[in-house]
């Protein structure tokens, strides 16, 4: 794993809450400015947004400090290229890598070849629907396993005592302020929510108002994790180099230096 991926991994874990830019019809530039104002360093930008190929270079030019994880990816180039007829914003993982994004997230699994190819250079978050899928993906090199909420049954099963916390979980879907503490308690390492959920029923959408909402979500995650892992949280926010020793979830063999 190269030094940049180590930094992305730590910032991703430290931030704890990842905002997702979905196809919500909102102003992406406003959302990005709000993320930066709230102090966020990592965001997920999904390929569901038709403006993907326009916004990526804008983000990189204006906010080079942001780490960009691209969601709604697929690792089968034949499928991606065929679907480009209907969804021209779709890019293959190789095309996204050439655009210097920092990681890939999917609603699907990734093949063992994909995980081997990108593990050292990009943060990889494929999705699992069963315990064994999660296990296979971790063994093949995924950094986190995405699990879909709001139902937390699979999260609890993967995090159960007989499995020795083998798998760091990235939980998305229905993660509102009430469900986030439950997901953390169930075993989630990092939480994500889309702006469509966070800004639901909001009548005033400005950079300042969105920034405040983002801070509330992140604070909710931080507080929930601090109750369970106080030593880890102190090490993370004190920039203590021993934070890896305190991570309660599985890392790659050899940790981030692998």
Domains of the chain are 3-247 (3.20.20.70)
Name the region of 31 (left: φ>0; alpha: ψ -120 to 50; beta: rest).
alpha
* CA dist., res. 158 & res. 124, Å (int): 18
**pLDDT value of position 208:** 97
Q: Could you list the pLDDT tens digit for every one of the 258 residues in the chain? A: 788 888 999 899 999 999 999 999 999 999 999 999 999 999 999 999 999 999 999 999 999 999 999 999 999 999 999 999 999 999 999 999 999 999 999 999 999 999 999 999 999 999 999 999 999 999 999 999 999 999 999 999 999 999 998 999 999 999 999 999 999 999 999 999 999 999 998 888 999 999 999 999 999 999 999 999 888 888 887 777 777 778 888 776 556 665
Q: Distances in Å between the alpha carbon of 143 and those of 84, 89, 174, 241?
A: 28, 26, 22, 19
* Contact status, residue 211 vs residue 34, Cβ threshold 8 Å: yes
- pLDDT computed for residue 258 by the predictor: 59
Q: Cα separation of 90 and 93, whole Å? A: 10
The values of phi and psi at residue 199, to 5°, are: -105, 15
The pLDDT of residue 245: 79
Determine the pLDDT at residue 75: 97
Beta bridge partners of residue 125, listed in sequence order: 105
pLDDT of residue 253: 56
């Amino acid at each position: 794993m190269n030094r940049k991926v180590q930094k992305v991994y730590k910032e991703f874990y430290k931030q704890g809450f990842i905002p997702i830019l979905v196809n919500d019809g909102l102003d992406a530039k406003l959302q990005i400015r709000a993320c930066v104002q709230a102090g966020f360093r990592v965001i997920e930008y999904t390929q569901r947004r038709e403006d993907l190929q326009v916004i990526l270079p804008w983000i990189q030019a204006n906010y080079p400090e942001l780490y960009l994880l691209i969601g709604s990816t697929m690792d089968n180039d034949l499928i991606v290229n065929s679907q480009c007829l209907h969804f021209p914003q779709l890019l293959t993982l190789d095309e996204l890598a050439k655009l210097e994004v920092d990681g890939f997230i999917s609603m699907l699994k990734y093949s063992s070849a994909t995980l081997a190819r990108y593990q050292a250079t990009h943060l990889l978050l494929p999705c699992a629907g069963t315990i064994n899928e999660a296990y296979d993906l971790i063994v093949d090199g995924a950094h986190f396993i995405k699990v879909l909420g709001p139902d937390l049954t699979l999260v609890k099963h993967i995090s159960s005592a007989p499995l020795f916390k083998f798998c760091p979980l990235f939980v998305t879907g229905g993660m509102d302020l009430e469900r986030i503490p439950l997901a953390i308690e169930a075993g989630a390492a990092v939480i994500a929510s889309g702006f469509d959920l966070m800004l639901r029923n909001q009548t005033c959408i400005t950079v300042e108002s969105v920034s405040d909402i983002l801070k509330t979500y992140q604070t909710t995650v931080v507080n929930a994790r601090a109750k369970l892992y106080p030593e880890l949280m102190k090490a993370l926010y004190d920039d203590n180099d021993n934070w890896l020793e305190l991570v309660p979830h599985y890392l790659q063999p050899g940790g981030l230096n692998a």
